[in-house]
Structure 1
Amino acid sequence: MPAPVRFLVVLDADSTLIRNEVIELIADEAGRGPEVAAATEAAMRGEVDFAMSLRSRVAVLAGVPVTALARVLDRIEPTRGVRDLIDAVHARGGRVGVVSGGFHEILDTVAPGLGVDVWRANRLGVADGALDGSIDGEIVDAAGKAAALREWAAEAGVPLRRTIAIGDGANDLHMMADAGLGLAFNAKPAVRARADVVVGAIDLAEVTALLP
């Protein structure tokens, strides 16, 4: 019989688990990188509705060949200390989840490679071997991130007071509020202002001291 899960750590993906904003890397393939980067920054600051912004940003990706996603994967950079943090969580009997407003097409490779236990993200619409500019299914927004944290905690038998949520953008605030401990990491000012703890260094190994 497996040992009970002692606690749960849930991270955002882009600019948290990894250093990149994946949608910007894909937009580079469409020649729209700067335009999408500006829209992403506004969404992460909470200045615009996340779901509406995501749909508009994904729309400009129409026509990018699916084969280009391999080049995007080659550009992914895990955040410093991420493997140290995940190893420490596992060593202490915890579980690691990642919930992202980004995309399964990238996270399905990155997450297991880093030792993440469970993950959830958006899926890009595809037609005739290219992105069609749509999102397939329900968008993972702020409410979706909080729902994932609660769902994974329930599945693991972990009370919410023994959960930690780590994020950088406005769409992480709901899950950070629901978690026992909400950590702002590499975060926008609005997120730092509402977090329980602000991690100053861009090094996820710093979080290990806060693990139960």
Structure 2
Amino acid sequence: MQHVLTLIAPAGQLPAPLIARVRSALVTLGANAGSADWLAAEEAADLPFDGLAPEQAQAAAARVFEGAPVDSIAQPAEGRRKRLLIADMDSTIVTSETLDELAAYAGLKERVAEITRRSMNGEIDFATALRERVAMLKGLALAALEATWADTHLMPGATALVRTMVANGAHCALASGGFTWFTSRVAEKVGFTSHHANLLEDDGSSLTGTVAEPVFDRHAKLTTLKQLAAELGLPLTDTLAVGDGANDLDMLAAAGLGVAYHAKPVVAAAARVRVDHADLRALLFAQGYRAAEFVA
């Protein structure tokens, strides 16, 4: 069949009767729906279908869920496995906003976090907000970077996502509005092929309160997606992007599969594909990988 609807839930929370109800809903709307193919028992399953647009299939599934913690991703069956991943870092690959956590060492976490929140929800310009927050950290000792890194944790499923895709020949890139000081470490720990972010400037002992220009913003993320695809000889349909903030919207819209992951309201509202409940392994299930194929 030409399309596939992937249903994904936290482990053990996808019962077979729910999948049967989704299939019935698709048929009622005039679709030709095949049998469920389990990718992971009670966690992820594919439903092949024809006769409906992906958006219609997702909407039908959402009506069946009735608040159950299940994500759905409908897309063409051909070309599901992507050969380029572009991922945001903060609140996507790692659980925290590293700049906010760094600001805690200057006693400014709440002030900086409020600016971050507004920026990530598209309420204020990203580059302006970044410069403002960095300026507030002028004079902060570089030891605060090490302390912040020591308390930075990976998002569940991040390592499996990246290492599985790399093992299958994909280029995986971090594209972050944060800083190379952190992206370089995350890239090495998780297994990213490359990383792209802002350069936080210092005088050798403390932060200068400045970031190198130009700021790596939403436009730079989109440019990175397009440049890497061109360098790899890939059409954009062969790419996957994931992020949670307003500065991710352009790359999510341009990628073959753009996923808003546990996203801010403005991003969740704009994205066609959302993952609200499952962890980052959902992006592997969306590509048709079975749990047995995941690289730990």
Report Cα offsets for 1:18-40 as digits up to 9, x if no partner.
00101011101111001000110
Of 131, 138, 141, which aligns to 2:217? 141
Q: Which position in structure 1 is the counterpart of 2:229?
A: 153
Question: Which has the higher mean CA deviation after the structures are superposed, 189-198 or 18-27?
Answer: 189-198
1 CA distance for matches of 2:278 and 2:212? 32
Q: Secondary structure at the match of 2:234?
A: coil
Question: Which has the higher mean CA deviation after the structures are superposed, 148-157 or 8-17?
Answer: 148-157
User: Residue 97 in 1 paired to residue 158 in 2?
Assistant: no
Q: CA RMSD in A?
A: 1.4
Of 104, 122, 138, which aligns to 1:28? 104
Counterpart contact for 1:10–1:96, Cα < 8 Å = yes
Q: Which position in structure 1 is the counterpart of 2:161?
A: 85
Q: Which position in structure 2 is the counterpart of 1:162?
A: 238
Counterpart contact for 2:82–2:239, Cα < 8 Å = no
Q: Which position in structure 2 is the counterpart of 1:198?
A: 274
How far apart are 1:125 and its partner, in Å? 1.4
1 CA distance for matches of 2:96 and 2:147? 13
Counterpart contact for 1:6–1:93, Cα < 8 Å = no
Q: Which position in structure 1 is the counterpart of 2:127?
A: 51
Q: Which has the higher contact order (CA 8 A, sep 6+)?
A: 1
TM-score by length of 2: 0.68
How far apart are 1:69 and its partner, in Å? 0.9
Q: Secondary structure at the match of 2:281?
A: helix
Higher helix share: 1
How far apart are 1:91 and its partner, in Å? 3.2
2 CA distance for matches of 1:69 and 1:102? 13
User: Residue 15 in 1 paired to residue 91 in 2?
Assistant: yes
User: Which runs of no fewer than 5 residues in structure 2 stay unpaired?
Assistant: 1-80, 289-296
Question: Which has the higher mean CA deviation after the structures are superposed, 12-21 or 87-96?
Answer: 87-96
Amino acid at match of 2:105: E
2 CA distance for matches of 1:202 and 1:209? 11
Q: Which position in structure 2 is the counterpart of 1:75?
A: 151
Q: Which position in structure 1 is the counterpart of 2:28?
A: none
1 CA distance for matches of 2:87 and 2:279? 13
How far apart are 1:110 and its partner, in Å? 1.4
Of 65, 68, 86, which aligns to 2:141? 65
TM-score by length of 1: 0.94
Give me the identity figure in percent. Answer: 38
Counterpart contact for 1:97–1:116, Cα < 8 Å = yes
Q: Secondary structure at the match of 1:72?
A: helix
2 CA distance for matches of 1:74 and 1:151? 33
Q: Which stretches of structure 1, 4 residues or more, deviate above 4 A after TM superposition?
A: none
Q: Secondary structure at the match of 1:192?
A: helix
How far apart are 1:163 and its partner, in Å? 0.5
2 CA distance for matches of 1:176 and 1:77? 24
